[in-house]
Amino acid sequence: MASGDTLLTFTPQANESPASNAATFDTRNSRVCLDFDADADEEAVFSGVMPQSYADTTGVTVILTMGSSTDQTSGTVAWELLFERIINDSTDLDADSFATSAAGNRFTQTAPGGASQPAIDSKTIAKGAVMDSVVAGDPFRLKIRRDADGTSQTDSMTGDAELYSIEIRET
Amino acid sequence: MAFTFDGADDSIVYSTSTDFLQVGDLSWFWQQFIPPSVKTSNLIMTMEGGTGEDEVENSVLFLDILGANNSWDIRYIHEFSTGTNEANTFLTNITNSTWVNLGLTRNITANTVKLWMDGSLIDTFNYTNDPAVGATTTVPLRIGLRGDGTFDGEHSIANIALWGSAIPDNVMLSLTKGFSPLFYPHGLILYDKLIRDSLDVIGGKVGAITGAAVMEQPSLIYPALSQVITGTAAVVSGRIMSSLARDGGLAGRGGIAGRGGGLAG
């Protein structure tokens, strides 16, 4: 893929809810979204296979479409975008092995500019360790976690963050 | 098409199984419709060894409809010892002829039973004694009618699901807003849409149906796959366009704008 081309998209219905601390399915004007709490860290997990067209030149760019359940227009949401590569004859399927949260896979998304509006923002994730070395053809999971208690970044938007879509592009 | 129970002898019965002997944590989801003519004390569902008061006949979960016309409530029961009830009536105030999404969780560590309806927690029942069923190892799951032919259900039901765990509050809140139980597969024992037939898509159980009246039920939101944008499609598309442009296509020698007789050739 050329830089900027779309590799995969996920909608909320593709979320494989973790057994605990799961983001909550919700709807807004019949649009399906995932609500991430403002106080407790919550997660959503998406499975995919990295397309063979992924060039793995510099990595990927993840674009999130986010809303605010209470129409906040200030503050930030702290996200962690954690890849987990599934390796043949190696990965323990009974355990999680997501990439460690680090500056390279964290980002803060600013609240939408106006009430009832979405914020669409991107995070570049470099190839290699911060995306768990996922390459073309690898099955993988992507965990999206709101660091609501601000352990590693500033999370200051009150109310739920609504996640509407995820796009993964070739950087 | 949901199943409608006629208040006489209609029922759906899943054969005895260890899966239905849930004396610990559990969760139950269902869509419910109650007509104006409903009788009191009519069964939604039960998992029980029998209908007597011996310990081996205890109900590990029993739900029925109480209340008054246009303000129907849901009663929860489980039994312990020799048929002693832990019971609570959840004041759902369900109006006539209206579909609702309901969910129940039982946590035997916290000794609580919670009931949600359409995205809201109705109430929490704090009980004292956990369910117990003596030596029984398997029980059936019955919908609409007890094993002895009493508690004739007169209502409609669809999309039933049973988990062997107390699923998290926010998850049940989501489900009762209209999301499929398939969004929370952890500990999911049975999920039967009850759309014209009875087939559990999780454990392969098949309910034996008595009575066949059906009616439409509200839709749920189901899981979806990710969308892959393949490079192949783009390449093929590019080759086709290139070919068209070169050999007689859109702008080629014989195409729309080509040299050989196309529309603009």
Most B CBs within 10 Å, among A15, A17, A27, A54, to test the B interface: A17
Q: State the DSSP H helix or E strand holding residue A142, giving kind and residue range, or none if neither.
A: strand A139-146
CA distance B239 to chain A (A): 16
Indicate if the alpha-carbon torsion angle B227, A95, A126, A38 is positive or negative. Answer: positive
**CA neighbours closer than 13 Å in the CB half-sphere of residue A15:** 33
Q: Which residues of B touch A (CB under 8 A)?
A: 168, 170-171, 173-175, 177-179, 183-184, 186, 221-232, 234
Q: Is A140 on the interface with B (CB under 8 A)?
A: no
**Is residue B2 within 8 Å of B201, Cβ to Cβ?**
no
B220 in helix, strand or coil? coil
**CA neighbours closer than 13 Å in the CB half-sphere of residue A115:** 2
**Is residue A34 within 8 Å of A24, Cβ to Cβ?**
yes
**Is residue A60 within 8 Å of A50, Cβ to Cβ?**
no
A2 in helix, strand or coil? coil
Which of the 8 DSSP states describes residue B239? H
- Closest-CA residue of A relative to B229 is A7
Q: To 5 degrees, how large is the angle CA B245–CA B250–CA B251?
A: 55
pLDDT in tens, chain B (265 residues): 788 998 888 999 999 999 999 999 999 999 999 998 777 669 999 999 888 888 899 999 999 999 889 999 999 999 999 989 999 999 999 999 999 999 999 999 999 999 999 999 999 999 999 999 988 889 999 999 999 999 999 999 999 999 999 999 999 999 999 999 999 999 999 999 998 788 888 888 999 999 878 888 888 999 987 777 765 544 444 443 343 333 333 333 333 333 333 333 2
Biggest alpha carbon distance in chain A?
49
pTM of the entire predicted model: 0.83
Type of residue at A120: I
- pLDDT, tens digit (0-9, with 9 covering 90-100), for A79-92: 999 999 999 999 99
CB contact under 8 A, B221 and A48: no
B231 in helix, strand or coil? helix
Q: How far apart are CA A152 and CA A11, in angstroms?
A: 26
- The helices-and-strands tally (H runs, E runs) of chain B is 2, 16
B242 in helix, strand or coil? helix
Which 71-90 residues of chain A touch chain B by CB within 8 A? none
- The answer to ipTM > 0.90 is no
Most A CBs within 10 Å, among B29, B118, B174, to test the A interface: B174
